[in-house]
Amino acid sequence: MRIVLLGAPGSGKGTQAGLLLEQLGLTHISTGALLRNAVKAGSELGLRAKAILDRGELVSDRVMLGLIEERLQGDDVAGGFILDGYPRNLAQAASLETLLEKLGKPIDVAIQIDVDSELVIRRIAKRAKEEDRSDDTEKTVRKRMKVYQEQTAPVAGYYAERGLLTRVLGDGNKDEVLQRILSVISVGSSSGLQPD
């Protein structure tokens, strides 16, 4: 099964992706994690990306497409994957569709996790302490929320137009949210996968 997870920063995308992997045996592809690893490794990409991440802005579509294209060639994606953090705007959604068509691996479902912004801000502040993320300062978080509203929120419409979008409420604890996701994908997909 091939899933795109959508939701604001702090909506619980990463947590849910982790739980879904355990349940469904999929590969997690987080473009944010790929970029943070590149920053840690001090690669050329990392050096260029760090300032952009720290400002809460988006890395260029061209760079991201190269990164995701390379990642999607990996042997570990053959059994299905969860994309977390990509696509981030309409241009990326269109590029991804073309790329996955070429690879014969179209998206089965896009899941939007809906949360209210107060909850998101509280979660991000907590995560900043736990994970020591340099892009989780208050100023950057505000910027990332703005970028999300302006550029990423319309991506849900892109998938809705293709009949691929399903939305779940992201409030409550992580297991409750997971159960909501599992119930929508086992009903809404043609994979035949059962959650347990």
H-assigned helices in 56-116: 61-72, 90-103
Residues 6+ apart with CB under 8 A from 165: 109, 110, 112, 156, 159
Region class of 43: left (phi > 0), else alpha (psi between -120 and 50), else beta: beta
Residues 6+ apart with CB under 8 A from 159: 4, 6, 93, 107, 110, 165
Q: Which helix (H) or strand (E) holds 133?
A: none
Q: Contact with ligand AMP (CB under 6 A): which of 7, 12, 80, 85?
A: 85
Q: Which residue number, 101 or 131, has a Cβ lying nearer to ligand AMP? A: 131
* Residue 87 DSSP symbol: -
Binding mask 127-166 for ligand AMP (x = CB under 6 A): --------x--------x----------------------
- Phi, psi of 81, rounded to the nearest 5 degrees: -155, 160
Instruction: Clarify whether 36 is annotated catalytic.
Output: no
By CB under 6 A, tell whether 120 contacts ligand AMP: no
Rounded distance between C-alpha atoms, residue 29 and residue 35, angstroms: 11
Contacts with ligand AMP in 15-34 (CB under 6 A)?
A: 31-32
From the CB of 46, what's the least distance to ligand AMP, in Å?
A: 12
Q: Which residue number, 57 or 108, has a Cβ lying nearer to ligand AMP? A: 57
Instruction: Clarify whether 133 is annotated catalytic.
Output: yes
Q: Contact with ligand AMP (CB under 6 A): which of 17, 39, 58, 96?
A: 58
Q: Contact with ligand AMP (CB under 6 A): which of 39, 53, 107, 141?
A: 53
Residues contributing to the site for ligand AMP (CB under 6 A): 9, 31-32, 35, 52-53, 56-59, 64, 85-86, 88, 92, 135, 144
